[in-house]
């Protein structure tokens, strides 16, 4: 349980996460340092949506939702993987 209170309405906030859902599975959403770059293989773009990523620059996102007004606060905590 966390002790966070909503900065907008002062109601309790509950902990959650933002899953990245595909047709096959779901994974956690991450924040990545730097600007996105297209993923390439032998100089050609891998796919329309593929981007390069470096796991050392990625931080799992923890989300908190206000139980009253629904406000979301997102934190990219380096201690959560």
Q: Where are the domains of the chain?
A: 13-76
State pLDDT tens for residues 10-50.
999 999 998 988 888 988 888 888 888 888 888 888 887 88
Joined tokens for residue 44:
């050609």
Whether the per-residue pLDDT at 75 is higher than 90: the answer is: yes
Long-range contacts (CB closer than 8 Å, 24 or more residues apart) made by 50-58: 57/32, 57/33, 58/30, 58/31, 58/32, 58/33
Is the pLDDT assigned to residue 61 strictly greater than 60?
yes
User: Comparing 7 with 1, which gets the higher pLDDT?
Assistant: 7
Q: What distance in Å separates the CA atoms of residue 55 and residue 32, rounded to the nearest whole number?
A: 8
Q: Which two tokens stand for residue 23?
A: 């047709």
């Amino acid at each position: 349980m966390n002790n966070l209170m909503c900065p907008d309405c002062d109601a309790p906030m509950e902990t959650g996460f933002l899953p990245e859902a595909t047709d096959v599975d779901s994974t956690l959403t991450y924040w990545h340092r730097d600007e996105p770059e297209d993923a390439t293989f032998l100089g050609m773009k891998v796919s329309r949506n593929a981007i390069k990523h470096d796991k050392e620059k990625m931080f799992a996102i923890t989300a908190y939702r206000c139980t009253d007004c629904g406000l979301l606060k997102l934190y990219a905590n380096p201690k959560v993987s």
